[in-house]
Structure 1
Amino acid sequence: MLRLSRFATAAASSKSLARASKQAAKRAPHPAVAKESTAPPVATVVAPSDASRVGTSMSFIARNLNSHTHAAEIAADSAALEEHGRAAPEDSHDPQIHTGLNGAQHHDHRSAGKLNFDASKAGLQQVDKDYVEQVIQEASKGTAFYLKEQRLEETRRRKAEELQEKAKSFDSIGTFEMQRIKAMVDTMVHELEATRDLQRRYIHIDMDMFYAAVEEKKTPSLRDKPFGVGSQQMLSTTNYIARQYGVRSGMPGFIGKKLCPDLIIVPNDFPAYQREAARVHSIASRYDAQFVSVGLDELTMDVTKYLQEFPAVSASDIAHDFRDEVFLKTQLTSSGGIGPTSILAKIASNVNKPNGQHEITLLTREDVMDYMRDIPLRKIPGIGYAQEMILGALQIHTCGGLLEHKYLLAYLFREKTLAHYLSVGLGLAETFSQRRHHTRQSVGKETSFSEPLPSPEALTRLFRKLLEQCHVRCVRDHLQPRKMTLVLKYRTYDTEQFSVSLPYHTNDLKVWLEASQKLLEPHLLHYAELRLIGVRLLRFTDADDDHGDIITSSHNALTGASTEARNRVENEDMHMDADSPGLRAEDAAAAAEQADADEVPPTQFPATHKRKIPVSKFLTDPKITMARPADPAAAAKTLKSARRRVKSSKRKIPRKK
């Protein structure tokens, strides 16, 4: 009965989207949908939970996963580059020609990452890519967004050229060095193979256009209209009607308006998204108490143990029941993927999207290798545009290419990066369930704002708020950082990071505030130029370790404001967390794209005079600060005593080398 109810609702939604699609096609002067396409609009494909059985026109995604050959991928890239050259900026009409490893020449038109159109997301496959890229170029040319992407692209291009130049010397390295490289790579492959376990079952759940679906739930009149969630600077997501015009997440709202003049931009409502995500997470915890949440809209469950306890149930049944219950409790649809590893489950979740599920059944190592061989690198979580471009310069476009050139990769990249590439090629990419047991490397929080901040005081209050939320998490998890990093993103789309070392490992909020003065003061006068501010704490020691009790902070030292922050953060998903699954240091561009997508509504601040005030006053004035020690004298005495213990411990505990 539950599935029939969801089928009926989905069918009704499908009809409304179909009507909206026809209206949108009439409104659009230059529709982005390819004229030669005879398939129905993707927005009409809203299948029931067992869509994989009744069939869906989106099954071509599955065919794409298996039919893309290495040669076809290279040809597609070349064609895209040639077409993109016609819309290139004026100063780059003369393409540079580079020679790849196999002697083939390819053109470099200096096209920037976000100025290219990635049509791999659900609902975009039938969009006219050439037309969309032309509009993106024309709409963004000369803007801060365009200039920033050009600078990033130039950096990537230089990196690719350096690797190409270094790769030319690979065949001429000495015999001893070649033997060393081969021995290292073969050992790493052997160790990775030892972890292969095809008996495990993972389920990856991806909520369909999550932010947009929540907004439709709040405002049903949006269902038949093209809209995106975010701001003029960046869209977090779009509904399927907007995607027919080529408007997608990670795209500035002003470009979306050029593609679809009727586009409605709805501000983000993170509290609403967090409430809906909490309902989904409560269901997941019944199947896997240690499920991993990948942002608010995705999660991965290892259901191996659950299947052992209930042998009459299959992984497919669990995925069906899970999605049915999610729909019953939230009226939101989701897509599911099932596989022997979390990476394969993630890939499978995109096959019958939206509102469907797919299971990848691979019984042997050879099955896995055959399946992974022709999958494009961009479909692998953690490999973004930057890595795709660099590897493409080495003529590596698919997962199989990573193994084919494994010795070359060992020569060019660090061991950590090499291990990731090998695991991807073997179908053993590090799973989210493995990552969740790793020691946390950082705790961070960031927020963005559509309108400029009104004053330096507003910037300080906002930074203090973020710092308090990080403090709550560090105290809760018994983490004591030694380093603090300030993250600033400007309206020119430039990003800067500044770090300062704490005097010792501590989660004492007062010590953090003292250190934050060094970070914040030089940037207070630039408050109006910012669009995002963030803070990150790193280099942890566990407060439960043998020497971790040198410095600890007490929740009793916080006022009610900080207590409120603690309650607020308990179920709050971090916008910026360096050890979140899928975010890797080797792909800074992909992380930046994700951070750009995490736009929040404009923060409301009281009007204040733009005067220069010492930063120490911002952090201590009772009219400005958000929280102060309940007893300053007692807090100072405790801090003084703690510092004495630190000095004493340094004499007893040898420093680690």
Structure 2
Amino acid sequence: MERKQIDGDRPWQSYNTVYTNAKAGMEGVDKEKVQRIVYEMSKGSKYFENEERKEAIIREKIEKMRARCMQLTATDLSQYQKVADKRILELEGTRDLSRIWLHVDMDAFYAAVETLSNPLLEGKPMAVGSMSMISTANYEARKYGVRAAMPGFIARRLCPELIFVPTDFKKYNYYSDLARKVFRRYDPNFLAASLDEAYLDITEVCKDRGLTSEQIAMDLRTSIYEETGLTCSAGVAANRLLAKVCSDINKPNGQFILPNDRRAIVTFVSSLPIRKIGGIGKVTEHILKDGLGINTCEEMLQKGGHLCALFSISSADFFLSVGLGLGSTDTPQVRLRKSISNERTFAATAEEKLIFQKLADLAEMLSMDMEKEGLSGRTLTLKLKTASFEVRTRAVTLQQYICSSSDILQHASKLLKAELPISLRLIGLRISHFNEDGAIAGSDPAQTPITRFITSGDATRKNMGDCCTSSPDPNVHSFMDESEIDVFINGTETHHQDSSHPRVGNNLSNMDDRNCTSSNDVEKSEKFKNLSSNVSTDQVYFQD
């Protein structure tokens, strides 16, 4: 009764929002204060209603998972634990400690560039964006709980002295190019994850220069500062997944080196919160925490039997790999590109002239991206997010391949007109079903986003506010994020037209929340039973 009374007095404590998640520079923030202000300023809004609807969906998923857990007998769990133990051994056998990966992340990039352009902003809380939405905030603003993807009016309430600076992507691209010139000195085939971060394989440069990975990281960070005037943080590890985690540890303007040693890796990962892992978002985190009591990566191994019983094979493999600290170590040279897309977030508007202008801008940018890659496609998908946060997708498959901005705009406009009148806060365009001659991505590493994490999660940071996000691969979830996927699965309307064949299915049907898709599939259970045959019932241990 006392607990219920506390929750009744403080309803914001049960209001889960991305705005209260820890981000570099927010370690000392009063989380409850931020949660209360976000709750009070959001309550009654369309955003609030949408968040409550998504929370209800998550709670339903968790309850279903708990119900399935209750149905598992001791024999069932023993059988699935055998499967997990065998799979852990197999995954451990794939561990590669021969490469050294460095993840570099520019510190509060947009804000830092603006401060470099206007030194008067130095030391003052500042956010890039507007009162409707901000793209990023500097470290002075983060001390108040202000962060990226937060509405500006909420940020101003948290920090009354907050200064807003409009986005300037021409400027950000310029400084990004300067940083990438430095990256190439250490790894000509570096993988760009976004404008402000990249992955470098520094194995060879360490050998060639006779330097340790720590020295190379320091040298690279110094070179970037000398060339750009901007600071960055770096993480070094045996694979890309861990390198990214490490780069966040000593932000800003710091570095962290995780030795290429199995014992060190397992120790490091054991206490790591699951949300620190790329590919585990808010939805997956809540399902694992509230449904199975999994808070750390080590607990994924401890509850491997439950994971194998309740999740798809690929998802269970991902979770077990995370628990072992495994990640991709190879450098993808050539990959098959399946789609290319971009989207723009802006203040909600129903003004048709403005909406069509933004659509034209997207068509132009998408056409330019396709031209760089030598691509043309025949399936065009339009993504819309309404003022009430409803997500709609509309697609058309054409008889001919297109790549020009005029063709893209012509067909996208037809899809959009069918939805009018409408008030929107986001528009996205995607082209897929490429011609075979243009199916291979270009060789310029600066144009090659990373797509081969062990997780299929998004490696490209989203730029909120009135800005664009490019995602040239369907495995990168920037065209439909985790929360939107939940809405999509649970009834968001999707429509697909095919002018060449009436029976072609919806090409978005495979866009699911891959890291938290539960499964009761009988066929999957049979596969697990087959896998578990001849597996020892002994608990798996490893010798160092």
Pairing 1:499–2:499 present = no
Residue in 1 that maps onto 2:311 = 413
Going from structure 1 to structure 2, the CA distance change for 1:544 and 1:484 (only over 3 Å counts) comes to closer
Residue in 1 that maps onto 2:115 = 216
The equivalences for 1:87-486 within 5 A come to 87-88=10-11, 110-114=14-18, 117-118=20-21, 120-171=22-73, 179=79, 185=84, 188-310=87-209, 312-363=210-261, 365-393=262-290, 394-430=292-328, 437-450=334-347, 452=349, 454-456=351-353, 458-486=354-382
Structure 2 SS opposite 1:168:
helix
Structure 2: distance between partners of 1:496 and 1:451: 15
Q: One-letter code of the match for 1:254?
A: F
Going from structure 1 to structure 2, the CA distance change for 1:513 and 1:320 (only over 3 Å counts) comes to same
How far residue 505 of structure 1 moved from its aligned partner, in angstroms, is 5.8
Is this contact kept in 2: 1:83–1:130, CA < 8 A? Answer: no
Structure 2: distance between partners of 1:513 and 1:494: 23
Specify which structure has the higher proportion of strand. 2
Structure 2: distance between partners of 1:381 and 1:591: 17
Structure 2: distance between partners of 1:254 and 1:189: 48
How far residue 191 of structure 1 moved from its aligned partner, in angstroms, is 4.4
Pairing 1:489–2:385 present = yes
Structure 1 SS opposite 2:174:
helix
Residue in 2 that maps onto 1:534 = 428
Is this contact kept in 2: 1:386–1:587, CA < 8 A? Answer: no
Structure 1: distance between partners of 2:344 and 2:180: 23
Going from structure 1 to structure 2, the CA distance change for 1:384 and 1:261 (only over 3 Å counts) comes to same
Q: Which runs of 5 or more residues in structure 1 are unaligned?
A: 1-79, 90-108, 547-572, 593-642, 648-657
Residue in 2 that maps onto 1:519 = 415
Is this contact kept in 1: 2:344–2:468, CA < 8 A? Answer: no
Structure 2: distance between partners of 1:482 and 1:172: 52
Structure 1: distance between partners of 2:332 and 2:297: 21
Structure 2 SS opposite 1:525:
coil
Going from structure 1 to structure 2, the CA distance change for 1:532 and 1:450 (only over 3 Å counts) comes to same
Q: Which runs of 5 or more residues in structure 2 are unaligned?
A: 441-466, 487-498, 502-544
How far residue 578 of structure 1 moved from its aligned partner, in angstroms, is 6.3
Q: One-letter code of the match for 1:141?
A: K
TM-score normalised according to structure 1 size: 0.64
**Superposed CA offset, 1:110-145 (max 9, x none):** 52323x612x21221112222221222122221222
Residue in 1 that maps onto 2:471 = 577
Specify which structure has the higher proportion of helix. 1
Residue in 2 that maps onto 1:563 = none
Structure 2: distance between partners of 1:374 and 1:509: 49
Aligned pairs, how many?
Answer: 460
Structure 1: distance between partners of 2:336 and 2:29: 43
**Superposed CA offset, 1:596-633 (max 9, x none):** xxxxxxxxxxxxxxxxxxxxxxxxxxxxxxxxxxxxxx
Is this contact kept in 2: 1:487–1:535, CA < 8 A? Answer: yes
**Superposed CA offset, 1:136-178 (max 9, x none):** 2122221222222112211111112122212222336769xx7
Structure 2 SS opposite 1:386:
helix
Residue in 2 that maps onto 1:18 = none
Q: One-letter code of the match for 2:39?
A: Q
Structure 2: distance between partners of 1:307 and 1:110: 49
Higher deviation after alignment, 477-486 or 383-392: 477-486
Q: One-letter code of the match for 2:392?
A: E
Going from structure 1 to structure 2, the CA distance change for 1:321 and 1:187 (only over 3 Å counts) comes to same
**Percent of aligned pairs with the same residue?**
33
Structure 2: distance between partners of 1:261 and 1:535: 37
Structure 2 SS opposite 1:142:
coil
Going from structure 1 to structure 2, the CA distance change for 1:234 and 1:167 (only over 3 Å counts) comes to farther
Structure 1 SS opposite 2:68:
helix
Going from structure 1 to structure 2, the CA distance change for 1:156 and 1:400 (only over 3 Å counts) comes to same
Is this contact kept in 2: 1:113–1:153, CA < 8 A? Answer: no
Higher relative contact order (CA 8 A, sep 6+): 2
**Superposed CA offset, 1:43-94 (max 9, x none):** xxxxxxxxxxxxxxxxxxxxxxxxxxxxxxxxxxxxx9997764316xxxxx
Is this contact kept in 2: 1:209–1:238, CA < 8 A? Answer: yes
Residue in 1 that maps onto 2:536 = none
Is this contact kept in 2: 1:382–1:587, CA < 8 A? Answer: no
TM-score normalised according to structure 2 size: 0.76
Structure 2: distance between partners of 1:427 and 1:591: 27
Structure 2: distance between partners of 1:142 and 1:157: 21
Structure 1: distance between partners of 2:301 and 2:426: 40
Going from structure 1 to structure 2, the CA distance change for 1:336 and 1:383 (only over 3 Å counts) comes to same
Structure 1: distance between partners of 2:484 and 2:204: 33
Structure 1 SS opposite 2:132:
coil
Q: One-letter code of the match for 2:306?
A: L
Structure 2 SS opposite 1:150:
helix
How far residue 493 of structure 1 moved from its aligned partner, in angstroms, is 3.1
How far residue 292 of structure 1 moved from its aligned partner, in angstroms, is 1.5
Going from structure 1 to structure 2, the CA distance change for 1:260 and 1:544 (only over 3 Å counts) comes to closer
Going from structure 1 to structure 2, the CA distance change for 1:578 and 1:272 (only over 3 Å counts) comes to same
Going from structure 1 to structure 2, the CA distance change for 1:544 and 1:243 (only over 3 Å counts) comes to closer
How far residue 395 of structure 1 moved from its aligned partner, in angstroms, is 0.6
Task: Compare CA radii of gyration and give the structure with the larger one.
Answer: 1
Going from structure 1 to structure 2, the CA distance change for 1:462 and 1:396 (only over 3 Å counts) comes to same
Q: One-letter code of the match for 1:264?
A: I
CA RMSD of aligned residues (A): 3.3
Structure 2 SS opposite 1:449:
strand
Structure 1: distance between partners of 2:480 and 2:59: 16
